[in-house]
A and B are shown apart, each in its own frame.
Chain A
């Protein structure tokens, strides 16, 4: 069997765990409340920087139901949400009572709370670079010099970070909300000192992660310690405020660009400086400017500036949406300066034929022909169009899978990956079903358990692309194991028996044995086979995409409504079109949310987190969702299973920003594009910038 076999892929069947989710039967880590559970919670510093002044620990320890209270009076708190102690209690109410009894008072000092306050500006280029830049700008009649900024976005996974840990002395069982069940097994090894074989981590259902849930975190460590100490299961699950402040975020950015193009629209090069505002530590800023377009000669510098704020974490395509917003905006500004169509300018500078095609497809589907010059849309409510592109690499990696083949023809697949909402549960059964040509209902997929053969964490959009080759390899082994029995029965060598579309047949004969009948010949109740990531089943190419947005902007209120988004995506062979489309639409909606709404706000004086809830941290809701047309761009020759999750959210905010500028003729260079910013842009000179 070769990789061509997966030409048969593509269905629109329900993901196997959907009914559990829809009916509320699915048990997530945060749903685990065993009878003798003990609760633990961190006490958090509420301001950007400082110390605890007073804490009546004795009073708190006396509260009914409280087991222990510890406050670190020496703690040098560096952000709102920094852990300064912990409470262990019989109930969550007792934890609240204990914190109240502490009567905490704090001393805080001036925090670094805003990116614009810590921005050092653009460093001067070296004399050599200055020469380079002079050369560039000598030959570029059109130059855009602009500073773009993006906000801090918190992951806001709906299931917070947390674990319920049952440390039973010699062994440990944990239910953890994670996107890396194998990685968490290692985390609990470190936390407990037990060996991996004594540890089981469950992540059968995970309420979102988006990059923030790779480790057991401090909460997993605390649950382990307390469970061991108390000899009872311990539940540590963050509340919403903790989740916003300490659950990770996409760092903010300030991106300076001075870029020149020649008269034909070809970008020649220029100066770029990228600043990321990170949390209290250093690093992890990482705005990405990938070479989707040929930017010519770029003199680029980068800097990270710390804030008194929670640490960033990988967030769906870390660094990419921020970068895309800036350089796609810049391209449209160049196009405006050249009086060229923005799609034309992109086609001139594109490095990929696939994306050139996708740009043309997307333009047609969004109705790009109806686009008028920037600001020329008539009336109070103006319509605009914009676009952007992205791509995602498809590297190799490691993954294993086991399959039990039962005598009745059923299969059980075990694989140490997890489904954080991506549809991995469908991939597991569908890839095996396609490979063997049998009904998917015969296959039970088991994932989200650290006792299964090791698979990758769900980061970098690898879950499907690394697990599919391992699953195909395991399915191939399953076929061979059954074929051996069939061959014996037919009294021929194994390779005299062919297998296709769910049937074995002797070469050159019309005699067929169906999968189910063949399995009935198994000498034992079941046989177990294994597979691993295997080059033979890896797809070719990268996951390119182009997205287009149509928006309406109310020029009196500044309110932006996204009306339609077209998202053209390549992902090799889509295993399951339903889940693939769902993931594309989800990426687009998160992109809309990033473009228009989300923004972590820290109080500039205290460093306190102002909008640490879901009322004032605005996320796109149902009324903000436009018509979305997900297009799976499958070409002849596309094979294998490739990445999809992350590219789907990269260009959306850029496409929307460009559409807003097209509608109004006034560019907003800062995310989120709030009504106030739109009005400010309109107020500055016509065709101006805010």
Chain B
């Protein structure tokens, strides 16, 4: 940001309106995901052009196929569309919440290849070929019934906006750590923010899940 004098003309650069998270990811998608993306691009758009080692996809929607909760789903997304936005806007899977949109709150957590991940930090195109499991998938999967029941019985939610992300993270965490200590639970949920401050009941819910037999 350039500041000239008290009545300066300032151009809003880094922190300003022009660089959105999508803009940032769009760049990342080019750099990191280019190789993986190439096969998906059947119909390069007019504004696409090639640079050595990279293929810029430009704007405009392309059809992709995602494997969500065990089902194959075809949808059209822009290269810049995040997995989170694809889930919520295109597939009506709104369990994953858009809260911080920067990977800082865990509200949009889904399982990708069995690992919990902030779906606002992954481009939808980069999720092709991966097993994506959302909270809706976990809720339907009998392996996680103890988890869901424990959160319900122990009041593991107040407003409930963060809870789908916490349930998904807990599903992964409790599968790996079946009988966590309180401090292990604290560390395990360190990527998830609950504004209502439901943590005490969330810890009780996780402990109750373990006591019921945990993740099957």
Is there an interface contact between A109 and B135, defined as CB atoms closer than 8 Å? no
Interface pair B17/A44, CB less than 8 Å apart: yes
8 Å CB interface, B104-163 against A: 104-105, 107, 134-136, 139, 148, 151-163
Chain B: minimal CB distance from A525 (Å): 31
Tell me whether B8 and A107 are in contact (CB under 8 A). Answer: yes
Residues of B within 8 A of A28 (CB): 94, 97, 161
Q: A608 contacts the other chain (Cβ, under 8 Å)?
A: yes
Contact A108 B10 (CB under 8 A): yes
Contacting A586 at CB < 8 Å: which of B16, B156, B197?
Answer: B197
Whether the pair B198, A25 counts as a contact (CB closer than 8 A) is no
Decide if A110 touches B200 in the complex (CB within 8 Å): no
Residues of B within 8 A of A630 (CB): 200
- Check A22–B148 contact: CB distance below 8 A: yes
**A625 near B199 (CB under 8 angstroms)?**
yes
Q: How many residues of B contact A (CB 8 A)?
A: 76
User: Is A364 interfacial (CB 8 A cutoff)?
Assistant: no
Q: Closest CB-CB distance, B134 to chain A, in whole Å? A: 7
Interface contact A614-B104, CB-CB below 8 Å: yes
Looking at the assembled complex, report how far the CB atom of B84 sits from the nearest CB atom of chain A, in whole angstroms.
12
> Residues 355-385 of chain A: 1 if any B CB is under 8 Å from the residue's CB, otherwise 0?
0000000000000000000000000000000
Q: Once bound together, how far apart are the Cα atoms of A420 and B163, in whole Å? A: 14
List of A residues within 8 angstroms of B198 by Cβ: 582, 585-586
Asked if residues A615 and B104 are in contact (CB atoms below 8 Å), the reply is yes
Check A104/B18 contact, CB under 8 A, given A33-B89, A615-B102.
yes
Q: Render A1-45 as a binary contact track against B, CB cut-off 8 A, 1 for contact.
A: 000000000000011011111111111101101000000000110
With contact pairs A14-B155, A108-B10 given, residues A240 and B94 touching in the complex (Cβ less than 8 Å): no
- Beyond A14-B152, A110-B6, A585-B200, is A159–B158 a contact (Cβ under 8 Å)? no
CB distance from B209 to the nearest CB of A (A): 11
Q: Which residue of chain B lies nearest to A419 when distances are taken between CB atoms in the complex?
A: B159
Give the shortest distance, in Å, between B150 (CB) and chain A (any CB): 9
A58 within 8 A of B: no
- Cβ-Cβ contact count across A and B, 8 Å cutoff: 233
Chain A residue with the shortest CB-CB distance to B81: A93
User: Does the CB pair B197–A24 fall under 8 Å?
Assistant: no
Q: Which residues of A contact B62 (CB under 8 A)?
A: none
Q: Which residues of B contact A157 (CB under 8 A)?
A: 159, 161, 195
| Alpha-carbon distance between A530 and B95 when the two chains are bound, in angstroms | 36
* Distance A55 CA – B88 CA, assembled complex (angstroms): 32
**A208 & B9 in contact (Cβ 8 Å cutoff):** no
Q: Is the CB of B193 within 8 A of A578?
A: no
Among A23, A24, A104, A107, chain B packs the most CB atoms within 10 A around the CB of: A24
Residues of the B chain whose Cβ atoms lie less than 8 Å from the Cβ of A92: 85, 89
Tell me whether A176 is interfacial, beta carbon within 8 Å: no
- With contacts A46-B12, A582-B201, A622-B190 taken as known, whether A33 is within 8 angstroms of B92 at the C-beta atoms is yes
- Asked if A207 lies at the interface with its beta carbon under 8 angstroms from chain B, I say yes
A621 vs B195: C-alpha distance when bound (angstroms): 9
> In the complex, A592→B203 CA distance in Å?
17
B78 nearest in chain A by CB position:
A93
| Minimum Cβ distance to chain B for residue A212 (Å) | 11
Chain A residue contacts of B139, Cβ below 8 A = 22-25
Q: Is the CB of A421 within 8 A of B159?
A: yes
Interface residues of B in 148-201 (CB under 8 A from A): 148, 151-164, 167, 182, 185-190, 192-201
**CB pairs A–B below 8 angstroms (30 shown):** A14-B153, A15-B157, A18-B157, A20-B160, A22-B148, A23-B139, A23-B167, A24-B167, A26-B160, A31-B94, A93-B78, A93-B81, A99-B20, A100-B20, A107-B7, A156-B195, A157-B195, A158-B159, A159-B97, A240-B99, A240-B102, A423-B158, A585-B201, A589-B197, A608-B15, A610-B15, A613-B104, A619-B195, A625-B186, A627-B182
Q: Which 5 A-B pairs have the closest CB atoms?
A: A24-B95, A589-B197, A21-B160, A421-B159, A207-B161
19 extra interchain contacts, Cβ-Cβ under 8 A, other than A24-B164, A207-B161, A589-B199?
Answer: A22-B157, A22-B164, A31-B97, A46-B12, A93-B22, A100-B20, A106-B9, A108-B8, A109-B6, A208-B159, A421-B157, A581-B200, A585-B199, A608-B15, A614-B100, A620-B197, A622-B203, A623-B190, A625-B200
